[in-house]
Amino acid sequence: MPVRAVEIVDNTTPASLYLDMFDTDTIQRAEEWRPLGSVLFIADARVTWRGRGARAQVCGRSVVTHQPHTSDAEALRLYIQNQAAGGEAAAWAEWSGQRSSAASVAQVRDRLADGAPFCASLHALLTHLDLDDLINSTDNNSEELRVRFADYTGELTARLPTNILQNTFGYSAQQIKAMSSEERAAVRWRLLLEQCCAKLAATPPRLIVLSLRRANPADPISLY
């Protein structure tokens, strides 16, 4: 039996939800859906709970409409596109009801294990950032780079979206791809092995970098 899953979000929570599809017709229609560009109206989906997480499933009674022509759908599309363009940090602060608190690597890892969405501010050494990973990527809609941070409590891996990469270094993904390997290395070493301040958002187990810059003496450092 063919199975396909897509990740869906709306404007009510920072957490995402997976939608599982089993019937051939819905799977084929899903080929037309585009990340951050398609709005779905989903009625009568089956919801299952596993541990702390939930998944939705398309069943015989489900109705899935792609790009419904309603004002709510257009508002949601504009909202999601705005978040993808760099408004994530403000959205997380609004959703959580509190400012990003300073956390160590160990504290972030502990909160990831709890399974609940959260945001945090991390002061740590950036130990891994490979811009050459962009060269091997073929998906221009959802490019992310793997980055790694370290402090006195341990190490942590996160995902750096390319729009945040552009905010950090001033170059788009396409511009970085067009650079020579020496030019990419020069850009990378602006922050690699430097103490950095990163705002993080988590929908466990996924950990995303919302902003990244070189740390300064005024940045708070977690004592745990």
Domains of the chain: 4-79 (no CATH), 99-214 (2.40.50.140)
Whole-model pTM: value is 0.61
Q: For position 224, what pLDDT does the model report?
A: 57
Looking at the chain, the whole-number percentage of residues with pLDDT higher than 70 is 84
Name the DSSP letter for residue 55.
Answer: E
Identify the weakest region by mean pLDDT among 44-53, 86-95, 159-168: 86-95
Contacts of 35 (CB under 8 A, 6+ apart): 141, 142
Name the DSSP letter for residue 14.
Answer: S
Question: Rounded to whole angstroms, how far apart are CA atoms 38 and 14?
Answer: 18
Q: For position 90, what pLDDT does the model report?
A: 47
Q: Decide if pLDDT at 62 tops 90.
A: yes
pLDDT band at residue 212 under the 50/70/90 scheme: very high
